Amino acid sequence: MLKKILGIAPKLESDGSYSPSKLALKLATVQKTDFQNTSYKKYEGKKSKVLVIFTEQKNLKMKNGKLFSTGNHPVEALLPMLHLRNAGFDFEIATPTGKPVVFEMWAFPEKDEHVKAIYNDLKPQFDKPLKIKDFIENSFNDAGSYAAVFVPGGHGAMIGIPEDKNVGKALIWAHENDLFTITLCHGPGSLLSTTLNNQKFIYEGYKMAVFPDSVDKKTPMIGYLPGQMPHGLSEKIKSLGATIVNTKSDKTVCLDRKLITGASPLASNELGKLAAKTLLKELI
């Protein structure tokens, strides 16, 4: 009751999951983003496609058994996609089984016309995405048409994606074909899929920005998460031989070889700019 009065009680949803408290939403979400509508020299070559791997999962079970109402963070997904689209790239949207993309709609910036526009433009694809398995079967021999693979963040990227062998195949395919891999916040959880079946972590020795476990451990105090995470991410990636370049959930972005990463939702705009400029520099 006291938590409700103080506005730090997570909100109980109709399916029994919990979304962030009023205070957490005030502190951690925005109605309008810092998106900069940058003009780029548009890419007009063959490698114009970006595969975007989204989660189709909504509820992440915490250590205490409570379910966090999650999915992909709309800002982390749509701001980088706005920049990539401005730079001339198109998207193929996929989820593990072809079920609709799930977003953290409680984090949607309702007063941001740019974000709303691209969301509405791509909604038919969000509602009927590709199956990753079908992408593997139909498009692996066409690597020359792709520039990058993008895995947006949001805690939903931690549900099933790190254990999905087809996600691992797609990321290894991108790595072996010299394509860029772009991800941020909890999206780097997808990189763990490259270690399935006792394979070596293909990003060992890389520098990257990842949402810090230390921040996830603190967010239950304000009711962002309804409990402690079932397992961490940044320390796991560090244990596999990567170097984490950030200690805060800030605007940090990092480019190391063909891997482009960002630390948090706050890095979404900077990640988009870095990705667009880097891909154009490489391809034009």
- The DSSP string of the chain is -HHHHHT-SPEEPTTS-EEPPHHHHHHH--SS------------SS--EEEEE-----EEE-TTSPEEE--B-HHHHHHHHHHHHHTT-EEEEEESSSPPP-B-GGG--TT-HHHHHHHHHHHHHHHSPEEHHHHHHHHGGGGGGEEEEEE--SGGGGSSGGG-HHHHHHHHHHHHTT-EEEEETTGGGGGGGGGGGGPPPTTTT-EE----HHHHHHGGGGTSSSS--SS-SHHHHHHTT-EE--SSSSS-EEEETTEEEESSGGGHHHHHHHHHHHHHHHH-
Active site members: 185
